[in-house]
Amino acid sequence: MSILFSALVAVFVGFAASIAVILSAAQAMGATPVQTVSWVAALAIGTGLPSIWLSWRYRQPMICAWSTPGAALIAAASGFDLAAGVGAFLLAALLMMLTAAFSPLGRLIERIPMPIASAMLAGVIFRFVVAVFDEMRVSPGLVLPLLAIFLVARLVSPFLGVIAALLVGIAISFVGGLAHWPAGDIAWTSLQIVTPRWDMAAMLGIGVPLYLVTMAAQNLPGFAVLRAAGYTPPTAPILLWTGLASLVTAPFGAHMSNLAAISASICTGPDTHPEPGQRWKAGVIYGTCYLVIAACAGLLIALLLALPKALIVTVAGLGLLGSFTGALGQAVGSGRERFAAAVAFAVAASSLSLFGVGSAFWSLIAGLLVLTLDAVAGRLRSRS
């Protein structure tokens, strides 16, 4: 029973705490309601199937997820449609599979200083956190209670804060007449293929940063969670299968599948099962639940799209607050790289766009450039 409970809690936390960010990403890409449902359904499939297969194959609780920081990156992009986005998603999936196939690529990615990658992520997420307080000015009667509930509930559990805010926000929206259920028939789910367009600006501005953010903010912490629980996760197969899942689901709008960190921590400890060798069953149950979500994606999205914009923006910002805190802490944690990380953060948080490429890519370039200049200057000073 504890295995079932842990799996259900992990599904609820993973879905409820991040679905608002997915809706923001779909809106930024100009996705239609049908394409938004397809996006969520494909993400759920790309989360469920690898979780089931990897958990069963390796007898470890391989909890997969969609890339929430990656969705934040997409939502912060501008000037791209879904066709260009799908091309970028396919590139990110191919890069993930190449990382699994060629270890030198993985070592190259690991050489990117964590403060710079974290600063890029923090800069992207910063816009969502600030947007909560922008919405407070417009809809204080809705946002203020949600913020208060979040701050109190998080004292009990970091996961509970966002979920409590979402549930209370849904209740307030329907009771207060703020929600508007869409007219017409609602499909349970649907998958719609989007023909990719290979837009170089989208591939550099979304595809490459999506790959880097997913590696740094999702896969690497996910491996750490499994190792901390006493497991030895097979790195290459995990990257290969999640990359393959991303490649197959990208034409339906899904942006990225990866190893989970927060959800995984719920299913990998002794609360799931006293015997580590039995906890893999939680991964199978977890994956099966996501396949059920895929089958009900239309109904779930109809509910969420009926809610006011202020609620979606608030829940998205609150759901990313933990990621923002962790990324910002890693960005400024090293004195030697702090200035370069600050530059990377400032660029990522801006609305910079050069040659059609967004700020996330230029943030990484700026941070690495400043870091290189600092290193050269340090060598020159040491010789003089």
Q: Is the pLDDT of residue 228 over 80?
A: no
The Cα–Cα gap between 32 and 285 comes to 31
Measure Cα distances from 305 to 56, 135, 162 in Å. Answer: 35, 17, 18
Question: Which among 217, 377, 291, 279 has a CA at the least distance from the CA of 40?
Answer: 291
Q: What is the pLDDT of residue 195?
A: 96
Q: What is the pLDDT of residue 184?
A: 60
The tens digit of pLDDT for each residue in 63-81 reads 999 998 899 889 888 789 9
Q: What is the pLDDT of residue 42?
A: 97
Question: Which among 8, 37, 204, 215 has a CA at the least distance from the CA of 118?
Answer: 215
The Cα–Cα gap between 168 and 153 comes to 12
Q: What is the pLDDT of residue 28?
A: 92
Max mean pLDDT among 18-22, 239-243, 336-340 falls in 239-243
The Cα–Cα gap between 193 and 303 comes to 23
Question: Which among 346, 321, 282 has a CA at the least distance from the CA of 162?
Answer: 321
The tens digit of pLDDT for each residue in 97-127 reads 999 988 776 676 667 787 887 888 788 788 8
Q: Look at 356 and 260; give whichever has higher pLDDT.
A: 260
Q: Is the pLDDT of residue 9 over 70?
A: yes
Q: Is the pLDDT of residue 357 over 80?
A: no
Residue in the structure block whose two tokens are 């199978």: 284
Q: Is 323 helix (H, G, I), strand (E, B) or coil?
A: helix
Q: Which two tokens stand for residue 39?
A: 């996006």
Q: Is 126 helix (H, G, I), strand (E, B) or coil?
A: helix
The Cα–Cα gap between 146 and 169 comes to 7
Question: Which among 255, 185, 192, 250 has a CA at the least distance from the CA of 38?
Answer: 192
The tens digit of pLDDT for each residue in 19-63 reads 888 999 999 999 998 999 999 999 999 999 999 999 999 999 999
Q: Is the pLDDT of residue 203 over 90?
A: yes
Q: What is the pLDDT of residue 215?
A: 85
Query: What are residue 117's DSSP bridge partners?
Result: none
Q: Is 259 helix (H, G, I), strand (E, B) or coil?
A: strand
Q: What is the pLDDT of residue 158?
A: 67
H helix or E strand, kind and range, residue 66: strand 64-66
Q: Which two tokens stand for residue 11?
A: 């599904």
